[in-house]
Structure 1
């Protein structure tokens, strides 16, 4: 399986419309369910046109998700990864995309610190952050996840820190 990142292109919003029909994806990623296809297309067109830190994730040439640097401030930013094709959850796509995003962050973008926030019950995302070498730094605040208000877990990785990439559960 070949995972690649690329810039947003006109027409990518069609994949977002597909993802928006997957209730599991919407619940896991905080998307509003039951938006019209037109609403989803318009939102993604607008977002894509401003997409300096957004990368689309492809598997073997098929668009399956996106990754982005949010809240870019100076030399730090927040990592976000979403696999829109829920049939690929748990198959390493997020890990491969995350490694490419970290290489971009600490290389071309020149970031010093990356961070992420994960909903505590989201075991896959918690494991992903640990596989990528981010370390847990706090448990502050709450956020909505799958219809419930849950605790948030904060992670970070500093440029030059050794990435351990341990399997989940270790």
Structure 2
């Protein structure tokens, strides 16, 4: 609650999503990202390979940070100076890429970081990269990610198509 309003009544504090800023990842981030693999709920929700050692995850994440594939832009999602996730813009088409986002570990879920990171990813894709279309997938059972994508104004495509993923798209000016 915010300080009392005139008359002695408490005024609810405004509900605002957390600010997430995007920044390039640095080598030290690999250990942080890899540590999320120790959270079984995160591993399942993020569709990461279970039962890999922390060392394997660190090595993989370090490779992604220091020598990413040519078709991947991965940016750290930071809240109040702390890495809370990352955003991917993936693809080789000059005006179209896939948006991905991960918030780790699972104790951060449900706090607005996913929506803030995805929104920042769209802004980066359209504003910085000059994309005209961004698409995304969410596991059918990941209702939180589906809600985030819908909340961003993305349109579901292939609705009802068989498979584990639901696909969404948004174009510049949508």
Q: What CA distance in whole angstroms lies between the structure 1 residues aligned with 2:28 and 2:36?
A: 14
Q: What CA distance in whole angstroms lies between the structure 2 residues aligned with 1:38 and 1:137?
A: 38
Match of 1:96 in 2: 116
Q: What CA distance in whole angstroms lies between the structure 2 residues aligned with 1:9 and 1:100?
A: 19
Q: What CA distance in whole angstroms lies between the structure 2 residues aligned with 1:118 and 1:99?
A: 15
| TM-score normalised to structure 2 length | 0.82
Q: What number of residue pairs does the alignment pair up?
A: 153
Q: 1:11 aligns with which of 28, 45, 50?
A: 28
Q: What CA distance in whole angstroms lies between the structure 2 residues aligned with 1:12 and 1:106?
A: 25
Residues 7-156 of structure 1: pairs in structure 2 closer than 5 A: 7-51=24-68, 53-139=73-159, 140-143=161-164, 152-156=165-169
Report the RMSD for the aligned CA atoms in angstroms: 1.4
Contact 1:15/1:64 (CA < 8 Å) preserved in 2?
no
Structure 1 gaps, min length 5: 144-151, 162-170
Post-superposition offset of 1:34: 2.4
Q: What CA distance in whole angstroms lies between the structure 2 residues aligned with 1:92 and 1:45?
A: 27
Q: What CA distance in whole angstroms lies between the structure 2 residues aligned with 1:89 and 1:21?
A: 15
Post-superposition offset of 1:141: 4.1
Structure 2 gaps, min length 5: 1-17
| TM-score normalised to structure 1 length | 0.84
**Is 1:158 the equivalent of 2:158?**
no
Structure 1 stretches (4+) deviating beyond 3 angstroms?
none
Contact 2:90/2:99 (CA < 8 Å) preserved in 1?
yes
Contact 2:38/2:54 (CA < 8 Å) preserved in 1?
no
Determine helix, strand or coil for the equivalent of 1:53.
Answer: strand
Match of 1:2 in 2: 19
